[in-house]
Structure 1
Amino acid sequence: MSTLAPADRRKQPGSATRDPAGLCAAVRVAMVTVLTSLPVFLPGAANGLISAEFGWSSIRMGAILAAYWLASLAGAFASKRADSPLNGEHTLAMALCATCLGLLSAALVPVVGLWVSSILGGAAYGYTQPHTNALLMSRCAPRLRALAFGMKQAAVPAATLFASMAMPVLAGPAGWRPVFAGTAVLSGTGSALLIRRAPSYKRIPKRAGDRGTPLRNDAFLMALSCAGFFGAMVGNGLGGFLMVALTARGASLAAAGAVATAGAALNIGVRLAAGWLVGRLPQVAWPALTGLFVAGATGTALLASNAFAMNAVGALLAYGGGWGWAGLLHYVIGLPYDGREQQATAHSQMGVSLGAAIGPLLCGLLFNTQPVAAWWALTAAGLAAAGCVVSARTFAPN
């Protein structure tokens, strides 16, 4: 059994003089994560408007959203087989360019473009996530790496909040297409800025003794990838069906929206707080990761109740714990593999992407027959994720 502690790392040329702590890199990664997440969250927020305009069923829109996560799975797989780039900013810029093209196609030719946007955006997101993990490890000071991972993953629920607020505020008077087009412009602008700001690096050959822990498809990687799979089922199932469940039980749309918004805000706070805590007390990483999954499972179990108060508490626990683990999981799986974090976290990203696609589909099937069963299924998934973390700790490289 091992105790996690930040590994020492050689500073790359040119990085220390510009940003010794790596905070600027962490902020850039977080902003890119927000933008590359929008191809899945904007269609979800605009689901009612799009379906009403084209007469689409919820199944068709669900398939479009699932396409994003399946493309993300393919992107993460490709990243696992790719070498770490000399310049991470170039990779991020290309991802934003693909996101821009996808969102523009969704705005201009929605019937085809929404599929294109999901596929391009998902592939860009999945491919860049392991790269940005490696970038954070190499650019950020050891004491700030866990917090940087929390910042990056907090960008995902921040994207959901942006999409949820943009639709009623902007789509009401202008329609949903300008919202897609506007975010495409933001992505294109970000791509251009990253290309201009990208520093140049020279690859320094590593000595044989500097290669860190060998990367194998071992039990450690498999267990944490499975934890990401089960955890993503919980998070994305929750995001897709919480509002529907609350309103079906008699809660007003305003009350359900308030609960969902509070949960998303708490989720952001938990991801940041977990990173901050582990950065100062590395030994709490494993208990914190296990505890988050257990808290999330407790929350989804409370959502099986018919009492609104229990549902509200359950939603907060489910959002905070059942979806607050993401940054910590990628940090834990990458830390033992100094210099190969990209390949290591590609495994966890593949698990997360697959779970994100399957979770909502499973919930959708169960909600059509027995809605309470969906929450018990997510509870089982949360407990399975916690069990995977416990197993992974016994296999952790020394």
Structure 2
Amino acid sequence: MSPQRTLQRVLPRPAGPAGAVAGEPRGGPSAALMVAAVTVLTSLPVFLPGAAGGLISADLGWSPARLGAVLAVYWLASLAGAYVTKRAAVPPTVERVLAVALGATALGLGCAAAAPGTGLWVSSALGGFAYGSTQPHTNALLMRRCPPRVRALAFGLKQAAVPAATLLASLAMPLLAGPAGWRPVFTVTAVLCALGAVPLLRRAAPPGDRSARPAGRAGSALRRDRHLMALSSAGFFGAMVGNGLGGFLVLSLTSHGTSLAVAGTTAAAGAVLNIAVRLGAGWLVGRRPGATGPALTALFLAGACGTVLLSGTGQAPTTLGALLAYGGGWGWAGLLHYAIGLPHPRREQQATAYSQMGVSLGAATGPLVCGVLFARAPGAMWWTLTAAGLAAAGCTLVARRGAR
């Protein structure tokens, strides 16, 4: 039986013009925007050091390997946060959990600005744990507060916040860090996170919000079946591609003679396309729920085609490859979490904790593998990411069989 039919059998039928489930709180658009904003802010502890890598290395005398280890700490801490969350129920007021996460993120960024030698490690650890532990809860929040017809789009908006954070970090460094230095940028970001936590602390669960009910009292029991584990594995392989691409695309292009300006523009265009694909995929699945599985498979395959083209040297093929790799190889995230949470009503946060663990582990593994291969056999790096993309597509096919 498909996940969509499973959900329809478990939940009541939609009622009202907005398509909201009877007894469920409304306010889906505001919840989606809140989740997207929190996702942007809690993503910055990994994207700001990446964007300021050259400045940080020059200031502290760090090697690229040491900076890469700082970024890996973020994703490993995210894995730990998701692991803790997989056994937890949705708290009575998710907003308070998000406020605490923003507070921890602000503390870490402040430490990085004040004492960067140690603070950058602290920022990655606190920010990563905050990100990983809140992602499953926000997935459950979107499932419960958004009407069924816009849930997939809400997931796309949330995941589009991640490449949006990379764009913000990439723009902030040349615009602000040039005249002021990179540390004030971290300070300003810490202040924004702290300010963002204040309104969340003031919000209470809306009256009649069934998302405050413990997860174990309703819905089916969570089983680690083939569908769940296959999609979590797809998240691992897909994150290897996405984060390897984000860390080494510009370096790879410039090493083959592309100017830094052209390489940076290509990466920025890929990030914009990534945002559009995540939103577009959510819009499509919201209108055609049966397209979830085929869309995931198609995105992973498109990304694999892109990484194949990136193994070449011509500017036109590599530019097309970069766009395909960014759009497909990193445009799947919203659909993946949506597809995992859909067949587990009232246990969405536990189900998507598994997908978040897979994504976090892949996000840490991809750049590490690419770093080793780029130093020894640059061409093999893109072929390795191609194999990861094909493996992710294969996992989605296994998951589709497991859902029948």
Please classify the TM superposition score into its range, dividing by the shorter chain length.
over 0.9
Q: Distance in 2 between matches of 1:203 and 1:345?
A: 21
Aligned to 1:57: 63
Are the structure 2 counterparts of residues 392 and 261 from structure 1 closer, same or farther at C-alpha, using a change threshold of 3 Å? same
1:360 shift after superposition? 0.2
Aligned to 1:198: 204
3-state SS of 1:358 partner: helix
Q: Residues 164-199 of structure 1: CA distance to partner in whole angstroms, max 9, x if unpaired?
A: 000000000011011000010000000011111333
Q: Which range moves more in the overlay, 88-97 or 29-38?
A: 88-97
Whether 1:293 aligns to 2:276 is: no
3-state SS of 2:4 partner: coil
Q: Contact 2:239–2:330 at 8 Å: present in 1 too?
A: yes
Q: Distance in 2 between matches of 1:304 and 1:182?
A: 39
Q: Contact 2:240–2:367 at 8 Å: present in 1 too?
A: yes
3-state SS of 1:24 partner: helix
Whether 1:185 aligns to 2:191 is: yes
1:12 shift after superposition? 5.5
* Equivalent AA in structure 2 for residue 68 of structure 1: Y
Aligned to 2:171: 165
Q: Contact 1:290–1:390 at 8 Å: present in 2 too?
A: yes
Match 1:44 to one of 39, 50, 74: 50
Q: Contact 2:38–2:98 at 8 Å: present in 1 too?
A: yes
Aligned to 1:74: 80
Match 2:132 to one of 123, 126, 129: 126
Q: Contact 1:154–1:267 at 8 Å: present in 2 too?
A: yes
Aligned to 1:313: 320
Q: Distance in 2 between matches of 1:154 and 1:333?
A: 18
Q: Distance in 2 between matches of 1:92 and 1:209?
A: 22
Aligned to 1:174: 180
Aligned to 2:336: 329
Q: Contact 1:30–1:153 at 8 Å: present in 2 too?
A: yes
* Equivalent AA in structure 2 for residue 287 of structure 1: P
**TM-score, with normalisation over the residues of structure 1?**
0.95
* Equivalent AA in structure 1 for residue 47 of structure 2: F
Aligned to 1:271: 278
The 5 Å alignment of 1:229-240 reads 229-240=236-247
Q: Which range moves more in the overlay, 336-345 or 212-221?
A: 212-221
Whether 1:374 aligns to 2:392 is: no
* Equivalent AA in structure 2 for residue 104 of structure 1: G
Alpha-carbon RMSD: 1.8
* Equivalent AA in structure 2 for residue 93 of structure 1: A
Q: Contact 2:340–2:351 at 8 Å: present in 1 too?
A: yes
Q: Distance in 1 between matches of 2:151 and 2:382?
A: 34
Q: Distance in 2 between matches of 1:310 and 1:114?
A: 37
- Identity of counterpart residues, as a percentage? 66
1:348 shift after superposition? 0.3
1:201 shift after superposition? 5.2
Q: Distance in 1 between matches of 2:81 and 2:347?
A: 17
The 5 Å alignment of 1:72-111 reads 72-111=78-117
Whether 1:114 aligns to 2:112 is: no
Match 1:250 to one of 257, 262, 276: 257
Whether 1:387 aligns to 2:400 is: no
Q: Distance in 1 between matches of 2:187 and 2:214?
A: 48
Q: Contact 1:149–1:328 at 8 Å: present in 2 too?
A: yes
1:200 shift after superposition? 4.7
Gapped runs of 5+ residues in structure 2? 13-20
Q: Contact 2:51–2:173 at 8 Å: present in 1 too?
A: yes
Are the structure 2 counterparts of residues 210 and 277 from structure 1 closer, same or farther at C-alpha, using a change threshold of 3 Å? farther
